[in-house]
Structure 1
Amino acid sequence: MKKFAAIRLLLVATLCAAGAQSDELRLSSPADWQTWTIPKGTLEIADDGSISLAWMRRNINAVADAAEFSHSEGKKQVFGGIREVNSNPQDAANIIDQDPSTWWQPSVDDPLEDWWIEIDLGRPVLAHKVRFIFPDALDAKPFRNFTAYISNGVDTRYGVTYHPVAVTTTPNVERVFEVDLKRIELGLASGEHLIEQDTLDFNLVHHVRLVPTEKNPGAALAEIEVDALGDNLAIGTGERGGA
C-alpha cells in the first residue's frame, strides 16, 4: 500500500513491571515530518502528511526532461538542453520539444562546418538507443549524410571526448534514423576459461551531437530522442547519506 491517510507511530515505554503506557503521535502535514531524518529523494510527502515511496522511472526518453537537470562545467552550473549550435540558433530548441511537426533547419548561407548541433541531457544516463527524427515536408527534408557522436560528459585534461556511433555510408532517405548503442566491454582478466570481453546493450550518454557532412537542400532535424534504461539513481546519492 503506497499511501496512508495518516501515519501513526506508537511509542511504547514500559514504566513498571505491572503495566505499560503508550502515547500516540500524529503526523498530518509536511511540516510535521521536518523533524525527522529522511534520505532525500526516497519518499514523497503529500499535503495531508501521507507518504509514499518516490517513483523511479524505467525506459525513458532522457531528452524529454533534460532541462530539469543540471551539472557543473568549470565554475558554471549548466542545465540540460541545447549545448551548441552555430546556425539558426533561434529554432534549435525545436529538436527537444517533443513535437515532430517543428524542426531546426540550418541556414543555407552558413558554411557546412556550422551546420552541426549538440544537446545536453543534463545528466549522464545509460542508454541503449539514440533516435534522430527528420521532417518530411515540401521545404524540410532529412539530412542525407552525417556523423552522430555521443559523449559521457567526463571532462578530462584534454576536454570532453566524443565517440562516433553512426556514420552514413549511403545517402539517408529515412525520416527516422535509429542508432543502437551496443559496445564491447573488454575484460580485465585472461585465461583459458575466462571471458575476455562482453557485449553490453547500452552506453553512458550525456551529450549527443549531429554533424552533417553534406549540405543538401531543405535539410532539417525535428527531434532527438535518447532511449535510456531509466532514471539515474546516482544523482543525489550524497544528499541521501551515500558516498
Structure 2
Amino acid sequence: MNKLLMHPAAKPVIFLLCLLPFARLTYGAFTDGLGANPAEFLIRATGDWTLRFICIVLAVTPLRVMAKANALARFRRMLGLFAYFYVVLHLLCYSWFDMGFEWADIAKDIAKRPFILVGFSAFLLLTPLAATSFNRAIKAMGAKRWQMLHKLVYFIAGLGLLHFFWMRAGKNNFAEVFVYAAIIALLLGWRVWNYASKRKPKLSAGMRGGSSSEKSLRSSTG
C-alpha cells in the first residue's frame, strides 16, 4: 500500500480524481445536463462535495493508522484544499445564482437565515486553514500552534453538517443528513477512542511508578 501511494503518479491521479466532480458540473452546465433548475443543482452539488471532502480529510488519519499506510498523510493537504475549492464554488454559485452578486442582499440573507449564517461561518473558519496549509506557514506559526489551528476542522465539520441539516429540513428530507452524521460521528469517535487508548498506558505506568515510590519510601523508613 505505502509503495503504491508513494509512486510519482499517485498525486497527479488523486488530483485528477478530485477534479472529476468539477469537470462533471462544468460539462453539465454547458450541455444542459443539470436538470430543470441548473442553478439549484450547482449550489447543492458544490455544497455536497464540500461536505464529502471534509469527510474524506477526516478519514485520512484513521485509515492511515488502521491500514498502516503512513503515505496517506501526503494527500491530506491536497484533499483539504479541494474541500476549500468546492466551498468557494458553493459560495460563488449562491452569490451569483441566488443573489445576483448583490452584496447588501447577501449580507441581509446571512443575518436573516440561520442556515446561511452557519454555512458562511464554516467558510470563514476554513479560510485560515487553507491559507496556512503550506510548509512556510507551519514554520512561521510553529508546529503546535499550527496543529491547534487545524483542529478547527472538527468544528467546521459540525457546522457543515448543521448547515446541511437545516437546508434539508425545509423539504423534510433527512436521509443523507443521517448518513453524513453517522460518518462524521464515526470519524470523530475514532479519534476520541484513539486518544483515550494512548493515554491509558501512560496513566497505568504513572500509577505503577507511584506505587513503586511508595514501597521504596516505606522500606526506607521501616
TM-score by length of 1: 0.21
Bigger RCO (CA 8 Å, 6+ sep): 1
Structure of higher CA gyration radius? 1
Q: Which of the two has greater helix per residue?
A: 2
Q: Which of the two has greater strand per residue?
A: 1
TM-score by length of 2: 0.23
